[in-house]
Structure 1
Amino acid sequence: MTATLIAALPDVPAPVLVLAAGILVLLLAIACRRPGRESGTVAGAIIAAATLGLAFAGLWSPAPPHAADMARLFAADAWFAYGAGLILLSSGGILAMSWRQMAGERADEAHLLLLLGTLGAVVVAGSANAIAFFVGLETLSLSLLGLIAYRPRLPDAVEAAMKYLVLAGTSSAILLFGLALAYAETGDLRFTVPLAANPAEPALAMAATLLVLTGLFFKLSAAPFHLWLADVLDGAPTPVAAFIAVVSKIALFVALARYFAMTDLTGTAWPAQDLAIVAVLSMVGGNLLAFGQTKLKRLLAGSSIAHIGYLLVALLSAGPLGAGSAAFYLAAYAAATLGAFAALGAAPDQPDLAAWRGMFHRRPAVALALSIMLASLAGIPPAVGFFAKAYIVAAGMSAHRMLLLAALIVSSIIGLCYYLNVARVMMTPAPDTAAPAGAAASGTTVLLTALALATVLLGLFPGPLVQRTTALFRSAGPGGATLAASHDILYASTPPPRQRLLR
C-alpha cells in the first residue's frame, strides 16, 4: 500500500503535494502549540510555495499524450496550471484580506480551513477522474462550511452556514448519483461526458450527464440553481464571501470545461442547447437579482451569477477564439471580483449601499478602487473587463452564437445600471450623521492597490495575457484552438474498450 502511494506521487501535481504537506505541518503546529496569528504567516508561506511549485513544475509546456494517461487521477496540463495559478493567487489575496478579520482565538483553525479549501479547489481544477473530482469537491465544500460559520456572532453567519450545508449536501448527492450512473453505464471513471464513450444505453448516459450538470450548476450557482448564493455571501465574513465567489467559481469552471472537452458543443443539439439555456438564465437572472439590491454583498452575488453566464457563452463558442476568451475572462473576473470584496473589507462596518454615500469624500482611495472594479465587471473601458467582454463577443460571432450574444448585450445593459448606481451613491454627499469609515488593514490596502493597478494595466495592455491564454491550447485542426486541446494531453485519441456494468 505504501509502495503504491509512493509510486503514484510523481503523477500528482506539485501544488497538490505542497498544499497537502503544508496542511500537515500546520496541523502538527496546532496540535503541539496553537500558533495563533502566526498561522497566517505559515499559510502564506504554504500558498507561496505551492505557487512556486506550479511555476517550476513544467506544467505550462504540455507533454504529448501516451497510453498511461488513461489511468491518471490528474490532468497536469496547461489548462490545469492556468486555473491552479489563478486559484493560488486568489487564495493568497484572500489571506491578505482576512489578516485582521480572521484574527482571534481560532485564527489558526480559520487559516487551516482556508488552506483545505484551496487544496480542494486545486484538486477540482486538475481532476481527470471522477473519484478525485468528488473528493476535491467535498474537501472544498466542507472547508467552506466551516469558514462561513467561523464567526457565529455575526447575525446571519449560522443561518448562512445551515443553508449552505443543506444545499451543498443535496447538490453533492445529485452529482454523486450522476457519476455513479455514468460509471455503471460505461465502466469508466474518467471525468468526461459519458456520451463520448459511445455507451450502450444513451438515455442512461444522458440522465447521468443531467445529474452531474445539476450538481455542478448548484455549486457554480448558475441559474436556475442560484438563489442560495446571495444569502450565503451576505451572512459570511467578507473574505469567505470572496473565496466562494472567486476561488470556488474558478475551480468549478475549469472542471466544467474539462468535463465537456471531448463533447461537440458547436451545434444546437443536446447538451449544447441546455448549456445555452443555463447561460441565458444566468446572465439575465443574475443581473436582475443584483438590480435594486441595497446590500453590496448581495449585489456582488448577482453579479457573480451573471458572469458565470458570460463564461458559459465563451465555453459554447468553440473556434479559434472560444478557449482563449474563456481563459482571459476568468482572469479578468477573478481580479475584479476579488478587488470588489477587498474594497468591502476596507470598510467592514458599512455593508449597506446607503452607508457608502459620500465615500469619495471620506475614503477617496477605497471609493476609486471599488469604482475601477465595478467598471471592469460592467465592461467599461479602460478596465480589463471591457476587453474581456469584447473578446467573448468576438468568439461568439465567430461561432455564430447570435442569440447568446443578444442575451449578453441585454444583460450587460442591465448590469451597467446597478454598477453605475454604486458609483453614483459614493459620489453623493454624505449626511452629517454618517459614521466615519474605519481604517483598512495594511494587507487589504496593498491587495486593493495591486488589483486596481492590474485591472487598469491589463485593460490598457491586454496583449501579454491574450498570448498566454491563447498558448494554453494547441491547434485542433482548421478551426483553431478549442478547450478539447488541453484534454488531448490527458486522453489518447482512441478510447479504451468499454464494459457496461448495468444489466
Structure 2
Amino acid sequence: MIGHDVFLPTPLPVLSMGIMVTLAAVAWRRSVGRSIACAMVTLLAASAVVDRHTGGRPQHGISLFIQDQWTTYTAMLIIFSSMCILLMSWRDLKHDRSTLVDEYPLLLMLGTLGALAMVFSANYMPFFVGLEILGVSLMGLVTFRRGSFLQGCEAAMKYLILSGVSSAILLFGIGLAYGITGSLRFIPPTAIGDMPAALSMAATLMILTGMFFKLSAVPFHMWLPDVMEGAPVPVAAFLAVVSKIAIFSSLVRYFGTGGQPEFINDVLYVVIILTIMGGNLLALRQASLIRLLACSSIAHVGYLLIAFLCPGRLQSGAITVYLAAYTASTLGVFAIITAFATPEGADGTVIAQWKGLFFNRPFLASAMSLMLLSLAGIPPGIGFFAKFEIAATGVEHRRGLLLCVLILGSIIGLYYYLNIIRTMMTVPSLPSPGLNRHARPELTALVIVLSVIVMIGGLFPARAIHPFLPAPTVPPQTQDRMAH
C-alpha cells in the first residue's frame, strides 16, 4: 500500500505543544506530579489524533512526511508503549524527594516525538532529525538510574559513543545516496540513478549498517546489554521497545515491500543468522534479568528480519502481529519487574531474587510466566501466533536455512525463559530477599491490561490479525527529484 504525502502529521505538533507547555510549567514552578500529568495528557491527545494530518502534498517543495495505515499502526504502538513506560515510572518520580525529576517526563515526551518523526518520515531530513532527538533524549533518560548515578553515566557514555559512530556511518550513507539520486526522498539509492553500481551499493550498505547499529543486530549489538543494565528499568523498556519499533518501521519504509536490492539478500542472511543465534546464546549466560531481556530483544530483531527478507502476501501480517506481540509481552515483563522493586533499592533485576514468587505473589508470577511464554513462542500467548506467522513467510519463500535457525533459536530461548519460570516455582529455603510483595495499583492494572492483550491475541488469532495493518511499499520513485 502506498500512502499519501502530508504536510505535517497531527501527533507531531500535539507532542511539541505538550513539551512546550510542560517546559513553561516547570519554568514557573517545579512539580513532578504536574509534569507527569501533562505528559500523560499529551500522549493521550497524540493517540487520539494519530491518524490525522495537517495539509496535503506541497505543490512546490519537498514532501517530508507520509501517512498511511503502516505509519498509523506503528505510531500507535509507540504512543501506547510510552504511556505504559510513564506509568512504570510514576511512583519513583512522584515519591523520590532526593532529586527534582521534572526533566524525566520531558525527555520521555521528546524521545517519543523523535520516534514518531522517524515513523512518519518520507525524507532523509526528518528521519535523521528524529533519530538524533530520540538519541539525545535517551542519553538523558539513561542517567536517571536511582541510587547509582555513576552506573547511569557510564551507560549513557557508552550509548553516546556508539550512537555517534552509527549516526556518522548512517549520515555518510545518506550523503552518498543524495549524491547518487539527487533527491532526499526516502528510497534506496539503487532504485534510481545511473551512477556506478559500487557507489550505490556502498551508500545502501552504510545506511543499512547505521540502522543495524540502532537495532542492535549482530555484530552491532554489544552496546545494548550494558546500556540497558545501567539504565532505570522503565528506560530499559523504552530502549527495548520504542526505539526498536521506530528503527524497524523506518527500515521497512526505506526498502518497502520487495523494495530491497538483490545484493542485500546475502548480507541479510548472514545478519539474521548471527542475530538469532548470537542473541539467544548470549542470553544463556546472563544472571541479570535486564541483560537477559536485552539479549532476547537482539534475537527478536533477527526473527523480524526474516519477515523483512520475505516480501509477499504474508509479510505485512507477520510483521504487524510480531510487533504487537513483542511490544505487549516485553512491556509486561518490564512492568512486573518494576512492580517488584522496593523503595530501598532492590530492583528485582537478578534472576535469583525471583525464587519462590509463585508462593508469595501468585498473580504477578503467573502474569510473568504468561509474558515469558509469549516471548518464547509458546501457547496461549500471542507470541506463538506471531512466531508462526514469521515461519510462514519463510515457508512461502522456501528459506529453509532461516527456518532451521528460527527453530533452533526458539529452542535455546525456551530454555532460558523456562529457567526463570522454574526459579519462580522453586520453594525457597529462606525468605526471598529484597523484593516488594505488594505491587502498586497502577502497575497491577497495567499488567492486567497487557495480560489480556497477550491472551486474546493467543486464543483468538483470527480476530487478532483482522485489525492489523499492511506494511508499506516504497514511495513513488519519480517524485520530489532535487537538483544537485
Q: What interval of TM-score do these two structures reach, taking the shorter chain for normalisation?
A: over 0.9
Q: Secondary structure at the match of 1:195?
A: coil
- Paired amino acid for 2:296: S
Residue 98 of structure 1 aligns to a residue whose secondary structure is helix
- The question of whether the paired residues in 2 share the 8 Å contact of 1:221 and 1:227 is answered with yes
Who is 1:95 aligned against? 86
C-alpha distance in 2, partners of 1:257/1:68? 27
> What residue number does 1:290 align with?
283
Distance 1:431 1:68, change over 3 A: farther
1:33 aligns with 2:32: no
CA contact (8 A) 2:377 2:385 kept: yes
For structure 1, the residue ranges without an aligned partner over 5 or more in a row are: 1-8, 474-482
Q: Report how far residue 292 of structure 1 moved.
A: 2.7
Distance change >3 Å, CA 457–CA 401, structure 1 → 2: same
In the TM superposition, residue 69 of structure 1 has moved relative to its aligned partner by 10
Label 1:213 to 1:195 Cα distance change in 2 as closer, same or farther (>3 A): same
Instruction: Give the drift of 1:193.
Output: 1.0
The equivalent residue for 1:219 is 214
**Pair 1:351–1:197, CA change in 2 (3 A):** same
Q: Using the TM superposition, give the Cα deviation of residue 102 of structure 1 relative to its aligned residue in structure 2, in angstroms.
A: 2.9
Q: Tell me the distance in 2 between the aligned counterparts of 1:393 and 1:295.
A: 30
Aligned residue number for residue 476 of structure 1: none
Aligned ranges 1:38-437 → 2 under 5 Å:
38-55=34-51, 57=52, 71-103=62-94, 104=96, 105-151=99-145, 153-154=147-148, 156-261=151-256, 264-265=259-260, 269-348=262-341, 349=346, 350-435=348-433, 437=435
Query: Post-superposition shift, 1:68?
Result: 5.4
**Counterpart Cα distance in 1 of 2:277 and 2:60:** 40
Q: 1:445 to 1:496 in 2, by over 3 A?
A: closer
Per mean C-alpha deviation after superposition, the further-off stretch among 185-194 and 324-333 is: 185-194
Q: SS of the residue aligned with 1:487?
A: coil
SS in 1 for 2:473: helix
What letter corresponds to residue 19 of structure 1 in structure 2? L
Deviations 1:142-185 (A, max 9, x none): 00000000236316212111111111111111111111111122
The 1-side partners of 2:257 and 2:162 are apart by 29
Q: 1:158 and 1:181 mapped to 2: Cα distance?
A: 34
CA contact (8 A) 1:193 1:209 kept: yes
1:422-474 Cα shifts (integer Å, max 9, x gaps): 000110111314225313222221111111111011110122331222xx33x
Q: Name the residue aligned to 1:4.
A: none
Alpha-carbon deviations, 1:247-304, whole Å to 9, x = none?
A: 1001110000011117544x9x411221221111111100011113111000000110
Aligned 1:440-455 pairs, distance under 5 A = 440-455=439-454
- Check the 8 A contact 2:258/2:312 in 1, yes or no: no
Cα distance in 2 for residues equivalent to 1:109 and 1:498: 40
Moved more, 115-124 or 435-444: 435-444
Instruction: Tell me whether 1:17 sits opposite 2:10 in the alignment.
Output: no
Q: 1:390 to 1:404 in 2, by over 3 A?
A: same
SS of residue in 2 equivalent to 1:75: strand
What is the identity, as a one-letter code, of the residue corresponding to 1:72? S
Structure 1 residue 487, shift from structure 2 partner = 3.5
- Which region of structure 1 is more displaced relative to structure 2, 81-90 or 402-411? 402-411
C-alpha separation in 2, matches of 1:181 and 1:214: 14
Displacement after TM superposition at 1:307 (Å): 0.3
How many residues matched?
470
Write the distance in 1 (CA, Å) between the matches of 2:358 and 2:60. Answer: 55
Q: Quick one: structure 1 residues 112 and 399, their matched pair in 2 at CA, closer, same or farther if it must change by over 3 Å?
A: same
* Paired residue type of 1:447: L
Distance 1:248 1:263 in 2: 24
Equivalent pair of 1:72/1:128 in contact (CA under 8 Å): yes
1-structure distance, mates of 2:304, 2:179: 31
* Mapped contact 1:197–1:498 kept (Cα < 8 A): no
Query: CA shift at 1:202, angstroms?
Result: 2.0
How many Å separate the matches in 2 of 1:436 and 1:274?
46
Which one is further off, 269-278 or 304-313?
A: 269-278
- Give the whole-Å Cα distance in 1 for the aligned partners of 2:162 and 2:28: 36
Change (3 A) 1:493 1:260: closer
Summarize deviations over 1:200-223 as a string: whole Å, max 9, x none.
Answer: 222112111111111111111111
**Which runs of 5 or more structure 2 residues have no equivalent in the other structure?**
none
Tell me the C-alpha RMSD between the 2 structures: 2.2
Distance 1:390 1:70 in 2: 44
8 Å Cα contact 2:182/2:481 also seen in 1 = no
SS at match of 1:421: helix
Counting aligned pairs with the same residue, the percent is 48
Please state whether the residue corresponding to 1:194 is helix, strand or coil: coil
With the length of structure 2 as denominator, give the TM-score of the two structures. 0.93
CA distance in 2, matches of 1:199, 1:347: 59
> 8 Å contact 1:321–1:395 — kept in the other structure?
yes
Work out the CA distance in 2 between the residues paired with 1:106 and 1:455: 36
Structure 1 residue 362: Cα displacement: 1.6
Q: CA deviation at 1:32?
A: 1.3
Q: Distance in 2 between matches of 1:457 and 1:360?
A: 23
